[in-house]
Amino acid sequence: MVGSISMTSIMCAQTWNPVVPQSLFKQSRSHPVVPPSSHCAAHQFFQCPLSTILLHSKHHHITPTTSSSVVIKASSSSSSPSEYVEEPATKVRFQTSLSLPGCSTALSLLGTGYREKVFAIIGVKVYAAGLYINQSVLSTLSAWRGQSAAQIQDNPAIFSSIYQAPTEKALTIVLVRDVDGKTFWDALNEAISPRLKSPSPVDESALSTFRGIFQGRPLKKKTSIILTWLGPSSMQVCVSSEGIPSAVDATIESTNVTFALFDVFLGDAPVSPSLKVSVSGGLATYLQ
């Protein structure tokens, strides 16, 4: 029986169940790949919506074995909330298109993953996560066209380019168990701190603001925590126990802190390896 779980060890431990890096469309033999429609050809690379890539059929229920599961309902609109991707390990569903406070346009889902702590042979899942981007960021990534998911995953330059792009991207975290707010922050801070070599007064102020969001705040199962990077130096934090939030809890103004947090999830030692695998697969599919 698993006893009390430390969120610090959950978010920061490097023990995890590996996920085979595959394309988002890699299916089991019983569910063959359904190719995207012809208008998603490489020559129309920058015009093809991510929702079209992730949801290449409106009438098929697809159950892949990779780190992202596409579950499709019939819909007349590609931005309909009825279109979503299921993270298979946690069964958390992410909308393929998300409108968030402060964003100039709806953001598109690029990949999903989960965080798990393994006790002996028992894996305890803590949250699911999905990365959303403004599709305009893809126009800055042409130098990596044709690379495989494995090549992208091992190339920090492409993730740095995504971060530095002056367009919005967001990370949605959905808890799959109850967590105390202070415990959640302590774990997050422990992951951020080693990435801040010499925090400036601006960094310390940003961390204080960030910490204040979670102090004395219980975080129940299904709570959404959304981190939205508006640019390299500004990040909004939204917390909601009732789906997608409509208000911003705080804005973090610090290039060092916002980059450290991005690196926690998409750097060389991510706390959710499956998320980076999935995002790399999504990028490889789009950059083919």
Kindly list the distances between the CA atom of residue 107 and the CA atoms of 103, 191, 214, in Å, as whole numbers in the listed order.
Answer: 8, 26, 25
Which amino acid would we find at residue 46?
Answer: F
Output the average pLDDT for the chain. Answer: 77
Q: Count CA within 13 A, CB hemisphere, residue 201.
A: 0
pLDDT digits (tens, 9 = 90+) for 8-27: 444 444 333 333 333 333 33
276 sits in the region (left: phi over 0; alpha: psi -120 to 50; else beta) called alpha
97, 231, 214, 5: CA torsion to nearest 10: 70
pLDDT digits (tens, 9 = 90+) for 47-106: 444 444 344 333 333 333 344 533 323 333 334 445 999 999 999 999 999 999 999 999
Q: Is 162 helix (H, G, I), strand (E, B) or coil?
A: helix
pLDDT digits (tens, 9 = 90+) for 237-277: 999 998 888 889 999 999 999 999 999 999 999 999 999 99
Q: Give the chain's length.
A: 288
The pTM of the full predicted model, rounded to 2 decimals, is 0.74
Say whether pLDDT at 217 is over 60.
Answer: yes
Q: Cα–Cα distance between 158 and 268 in angstroms, integer?
A: 12
Which amino acid would we find at residue 72?
Answer: I
**E strands within 137-286?**
169-175, 179-180, 218-219, 224-231, 234-240, 250-253
Say whether pLDDT at 211 is over 90.
Answer: yes
Q: Which domains does the chain have, with CATH numbers?
A: 7-286 (3.50.70.10)
Least Cα distance to 36 among 19, 58, 57 occurs for 57
Q: Is 173 helix (H, G, I), strand (E, B) or coil?
A: strand
Least Cα distance to 223 among 81, 134, 126 occurs for 126
Buried b (16+ CB within 10 A) or exposed e, 71-105: bbeeeeebebeebbbbbbbbebbbbbbbebeebee
CB contact at 8 A, 57 and 21: no
pLDDT of residue 187: 85
